[in-house]
Amino acid sequence: MSGLRCRIRLRVSPGAARSQLVGRREDVWKVRVKAPPERGRANEAVTELLAELLGIDRRRVTLVAGFTSKEKVVEVDGLSAEDVEGILAGRGGT
């Protein structure tokens, strides 16, 4: 890895009809995941969705805070905050 690493804040809505990036409000990205909020399923779905949106391997996205909360913080390895913001904004996040 290049040593780049950033953290992004999320507001997660589990149990949605489909997993998707909803948008952005201030410095928090809003996402919906299909998985229910039980036994870590929603957390896993969040990291998988972000990896897919960012076009990176799932192992490069790690949940670091908010394990039982709708407010979460994930760490992305190998991308700068500017890279992540640009990619997510281009994927329909506003």
Q: Could you list the pLDDT tens digit for every one of the 94 residues in the chain?
A: 457 899 999 999 999 999 999 999 999 999 999 999 999 999 999 999 999 999 999 999 999 999 999 999 999 999 999 999 999 998 765 5
Beta-bridged to residue 13, according to DSSP, are 32
Q: How many residues does the chain have?
A: 94
Report the relative pairing of strands 61-65 and 28-32 from DSSP bridges.
unpaired
Tokens of 60: 């490069």
Amino acid letter, 50: L
Nearest to 23 by CA among 67, 65, 80, 85: 85
| pTM of the model as a whole | 0.90
- Three-class DSSP category at 27: coil
Where do we find the tokens 């960012």? 54
